[in-house]
Chain A
Amino acid sequence: GAVVSQHPSRVICKSGTSVKIECRSLDFQATTMFWYRQFPKKSLMLMATSNEGSKATYEQGVEKDKFLINHASLTLSTLTVTSAHPEDSSFYICSAIPSSGVESSYEQYFGPGTRLTVT
């Protein structure tokens, strides 16, 4: 089946520093990837759509200068939380949609998530 990995799985950083989270599709190419955040005991909220070769599309209320997204290749998207603050602490989950020819072309495959703690 389609596998998506995230790295790191957990990260603790100090307030004011930046953190990069990687999302990789391991056995398929993904033109489109999504980034979600989830607060404890809450649902997933879509942050942005990451498109290979073009700028990410951010959801309303998400600061694009704070959450930098780079979809550098068909298998890698990165989310950089810049100047992180404690309120950015959350569980960040990415998902990827196969470009073609793998499983269904609409189903999203989710990564295992990255837990960010900002102290």
Chain B
Amino acid sequence: ELKVEQNPLFLSMQEGKNYTIYCNYSTTSDRLYWYRQDPGKSLESLFVLLSNGAVKQEGRLMASLDTKARLSTLHITAAVHDLSATYFCAVDIVFGNEKLTFGTGTRLTIIP
């Protein structure tokens, strides 16, 4: 059974600081996704990582993938309040199936 774990589960950080969210998964994956969810809302797609060593950046967020270590990271640079949300990683392990298994989520709170 595929397991996807994130840490930390909760993260409070001050504005302007840097931090990293980790996503570990238990079996070989074809694709890894990062999503953002605001309270009461659905998911917003942030990144899709397709291969080992993939790195993608958008604004203050950067995601990377190490398929050998079965690890993805979401790095936050110089955090701002608008980044407060819950972040999920999700893994698609079966090519052609597209079923996603979601991580536990990381609730990020940026403190002014």
- Mark A residues whose CB is within 8 Å of B: 32, 34, 41-46, 49, 93, 97, 104, 106-113, 115
Q: Does B100 contact A (CB under 8 A)?
A: yes
Our pick among B98, B104, B105 for the contact of A108 (Cβ within 8 Å) is B98
Q: Does B74 contact A (CB under 8 A)?
A: no
- Mark B residues whose CB is within 8 Å of A: 31, 33, 35, 40-43, 45, 48, 88, 90, 92, 98-105, 107
A22 to B43, CA, bound (A): 17
A57 to B43, CA, bound (A): 23
A-B contact pairs, 11 of them (CB 8 A): A34-B99, A42-B105, A43-B104, A44-B90, A93-B42, A93-B43, A106-B31, A106-B98, A111-B42, A112-B41, A112-B42
Q: Given that A106-B31, A107-B48 are known contacts, is A46 also in contact with B42, CB under 8 Å in the complex?
A: no
Query: Would B100 and A32 count as touching, CB distance under 8 A?
Result: no
Our pick among A97, A104, A112, A115 for the contact of B48 (Cβ within 8 Å) is A104
A7 to B40, CA, bound (A): 15
Residues on B with C-beta less than 8 A from A107 are 33, 45, 48
Residues on B with C-beta less than 8 A from A113 are 41-42
Query: Would B101 and A46 count as touching, CB distance under 8 A?
Result: yes
CB distance from A77 to the nearest CB of B (A): 15
A38 to B48, CA, bound (A): 22
Query: Would B48 and A49 count as touching, CB distance under 8 A?
Result: no
Q: Given that A93-B42, A106-B92, A112-B42 are known contacts, is A43 also in contact with B99, CB under 8 Å in the complex?
A: no
Query: Would B104 and A49 count as touching, CB distance under 8 A?
Result: no
Query: Would A110 and B43 count as touching, CB distance under 8 A?
Result: yes
CB distance from A10 to the nearest CB of B (A): 10
A43 to B43, CA, bound (A): 11
Residues on B with C-beta less than 8 A from A110 are 35, 42-43, 45
Closest 10 CB pairs of A and B: A113-B42, A110-B43, A44-B102, A43-B102, A112-B42, A43-B105, A110-B42, A93-B42, A43-B104, A97-B98
